[in-house]
């Protein structure tokens, strides 16, 4: 869990700031923000699959199975970094730092006024847990004195336009029953002493769905932040994306870039233990010690798919003579 973040937020809650309920009493804005925050809470309480037709399978909720990744991070300089961070093998040549508690790092990044001038970028491989982290982090900020989180699922917004304002409004609107008209900047002006934290999750999904040139999307986010400052709004924006689509995307100077690491053996073991706690004693999952399985299980999503595949008949242990890669795993799951 994000225990260090919990401790920081608890300590930070001693700062005397009014809650949104004190500021926005009996207003439609309060009702709608609370509805959006209820959506965030519901997201972390969802089971890992919307539908479960597998007999005896007991699915953990997202917040029960979530394990924070370790991470690498640096502040981007185009001259020295270029696109080297997209290649795992090139990180040794990049001056960067590494740590274990991403929640702590992001909390300090949100507190740092430097990051009201450019977005914070979180990158990871497919299935690395970027969306899982986004919802968990947003959930942790809901009752905090200093921040007001907004979680935007970019796959649900209009990818035919590059208007960041419209994407934020549409993302919030999608999360509220009845889809009321939303203007997040009007909201933010009503709580000037709090920092809106806009989490734009899934830039790669927006890019894949779009016929529009989005290579300057992150530059447009920076322009939005600077425009907000002209209205005395100091916002923070977090953008998540797969590494692979960032090749031609322009990144503002001095942007904080965080790369989620794959699961190490300790995190794999912890995940498997959490999974097994939910299952009957005769349905315990064990990862075979094989190079191909070790490679597949490095990302949380694929580890979950391996657990599903293995569930009914311990099928992973029965294919020792057969190599397994992503394509074959997906094929076997569909079968």
The pLDDT tens digits of the residues spanning 210-263 come to 656 788 899 999 999 999 998 889 999 999 999 888 888 899 999 999 999 999
**pLDDT of amino acid 280:** 92
Helix (H, G, I), strand (E, B) or coil at 259: strand
CB 278 within 8 A of CB 60: yes
- Give the pLDDT band (50/70/90) at residue 205: confident
Per residue in 258-280, pLDDT (tens digit) is 999 999 999 999 999 999 999 99
Per-residue model confidence as pLDDT tens digits over 25-60: 768 899 999 999 999 999 999 999 888 888 899 999
Find the range with the poorest average confidence among 11-25, 145-159, 166-180: 11-25
Residue 250 CB coordination number (10 Å): 13
- Which residue, chain included where needed, has tokens 């979950």? 304
Q: Would the pLDDT of 8 be above 70?
A: no
Q: Quick check: 176 and 36 in contact, CB under 8 A?
A: yes
Tokens of 188: 């933010």
The predicted-structure confidence for 55-108, as pLDDT tens digits, reads as follows 899 999 999 999 988 999 999 888 777 777 777 767 777 778 888 888 888 989
The answer to whether 257 and 73 are in contact (CB under 8 A) is yes
Residue recorded with tokens 């809470």: 41
- Which pair of structure tokens corresponds to residue 210? 């779009």
Condensed to tens digits (0 to 9), the pLDDT of residues 124-151 reads 988 899 999 999 999 999 988 889 999 9
Count of C-beta atoms within a 10 Å radius of residue 83: 14
Do residues 191 and 49 touch, judged by C-beta distance below 8 A?
no
What tens digit of pLDDT does each residue of 293-318 get? 888 899 999 999 999 988 988 878 77
Is the pLDDT at 13 greater than 70? The verdict is no
Q: How does the average pLDDT of the chain come out, rounded?
A: 87
Q: At what angle do helices 265-278 and 300-311 cross, to 10 degrees?
A: 40
Distance, CA of 302 to CA of 230 (rounded, Å): 44
Cα first-last separation, the chain: 34
pLDDT digits (tens, 9 = 90+) for 100-117: 888 888 989 999 999 999
- In sign, the C-alpha dihedral spanning 258, 218, 175, 6 is positive
Q: pTM of this prediction?
A: 0.91
List of residues 6+ apart from 203 with CB closer than 8 A = 154, 217, 239, 240, 241, 245
């Amino acid at each position: 869990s994000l225990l260090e973040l919990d401790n920081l937020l608890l300590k930070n809650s001693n700062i005397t700031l009014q809650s949104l309920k004190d500021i926005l009493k009996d207003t439609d804005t309060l009702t709608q923000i609370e509805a959006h925050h209820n959506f965030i809470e519901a997201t972390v309480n969802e089971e890992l699959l919307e539908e479960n037709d597998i007999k005896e399978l007991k699915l953990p909720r997202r917040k029960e199975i979530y394990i924070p990744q370790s991470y690498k991070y640096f502040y981007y300089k185009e001259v020295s970094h270029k696109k080297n961070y997209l290649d795992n093998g090139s990180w040794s040549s990049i001056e960067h730092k590494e740590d274990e508690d991403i929640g702590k790092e992001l909390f300090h990044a949100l507190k740092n006024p430097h990051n009201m001038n450019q977005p914070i970028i979180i990158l990871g491989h497919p299935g690395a847990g970027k969306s899982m982290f986004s919802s968990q982090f947003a959930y942790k900020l809901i009752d905090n004195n200093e921040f007001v989180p907004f979680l935007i699922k970019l796959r649900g917004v209009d990818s035919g336009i590059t208007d960041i304002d419209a994407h934020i409004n549409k993302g919030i609107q999608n999360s509220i029953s009845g889809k009321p008209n939303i203007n997040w900047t009007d909201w933010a002006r009503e709580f000037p002493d709090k920092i809106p934290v806009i989490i734009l999750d899934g830039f790669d999904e927006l890019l894949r769905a779009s016929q529009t040139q989005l290579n300057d999307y992150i530059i447009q986010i920076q322009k939005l932040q600077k425009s907000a400052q002209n209205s005395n709004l100091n916002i923070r924006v977090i953008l998540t994306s797969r590494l692979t689509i960032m090749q031609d995307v322009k990144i503002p100077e001095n942007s904080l870039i965080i790369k989620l690491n794959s699961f190490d053996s300790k995190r794999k073991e912890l995940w498997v233990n959490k999974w097994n706690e939910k299952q009957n004693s005769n349905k315990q999952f064990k990862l075979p010690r094989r190079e191909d399985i070790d490679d597949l299980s490095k990302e949380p999503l694929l580890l979950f798919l391996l657990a599903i595949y293995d569930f009914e008949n311990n099928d992973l242990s029965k294919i020792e003579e057969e190599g397994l890669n992503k394509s074959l795993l997906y094929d076997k799951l569909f079968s």
